[in-house]
Amino acid sequence: MAASKLTTEPRIAQVVGTVHSPGSLRRALRLRAGDVDFLELRVDHFVKDRQALLAAIPRLKFPLIVTARHPAEGGANGLSLAQRRALLAEFLPFASAIDVELRTVFGVETILAMARGHRVKVIVSSHHFTSTPSAKALAALIRGARDAGADIVKIAALSSTIVSLQRLISIFERPPALPLSVMGMGEFGKISRLVLADAGSVLNYGYLDEPNASGQWEARELKKRLVDIAAR
């Protein structure tokens, strides 16, 4: 089991490069130290070619976040809960963290117990591609993830207006109960990922070959920009 290297109190906001395609896997294999902080393995995208991903893992130079996404939250290949649970179990030995949706946590209790038993961090996530939840709903999501035992809560939501972006920023107006990873998508997605990282988002996602969500930065560029912001 991989030792967990994910810190919830980073000196500089941390960048996650997402591996969701053969092209992004090739890019991940060419990354140099300092280009990113973590790689997210979207194993739902590799369900038809798991062996290629498994073979590449020993050559990846960064701690890994393992994700098998629910179809309603952007998951690939229409996988059932049982299929996603099996993928998480298969790739858990390589993980520094696993990411499960809030809607999924009560279907993967055994996986979460295994993760905690091996000191693998648990990210509980919620994705909203067509809207920004209300401030009340955002607070409820965070409470629900905390109650489910999250080490980090991840929220990704549409930020198509200044008002919706401000709603995401407002999450950080008070010290959060646990570390948060918050990002916007859509028109204000790119600016949201800089502003929210500066506000306290601990994990900030970027693409390696092509975006798999609107408003993403290329991961190495995002890392450079966040380093520059931290140096101000």
Residues 6+ apart with CB under 8 A from 25: 19, 52, 53, 56
Name the token pair of 94: 């390589």
Name the token pair of 145: 């993830």
**pLDDT at position 99:** 98
Lowest mean pLDDT of 8-17, 21-30, 32-41, 62-71, name the range: 8-17
Nearest to 100 by CA among 55, 40, 160: 40
pLDDT in tens, 176-202: 889 999 999 999 999 999 999 999 999
Q: Is the pLDDT of residue 59 over 90?
A: yes
Average predicted confidence (pLDDT) for the chain: 94
Query: Measured between alpha carbons, how far is 219 from 213 in angstroms, rounded to an integer?
Result: 13
Residues 6+ apart with CB under 8 A from 6: 38, 63, 65, 96, 97, 121, 151, 152
Nearest to 203 by CA among 169, 147, 164, 153: 153
At residue 16, φ and ψ (nearest 5 deg) are -115, 120
Lowest mean pLDDT of 2-11, 52-61, 126-135, name the range: 2-11
pLDDT category, 10, cuts 50, 70, 90? Answer: low
For the chain, the farthest-separated pair of C-alpha atoms sits apart, in whole angstroms, at 47
Taking the model in full, what pTM does it have?
0.94
Query: Measured between alpha carbons, how far is 185 from 205 in angstroms, rounded to an integer?
Result: 11
Q: Is the pLDDT of residue 103 over 90?
A: yes
Q: Could you give the dihedral angle defined by the CA atoms of residues 77, 149, 2 and 33, in that order, rounded to the nearest 10 degrees?
A: 80
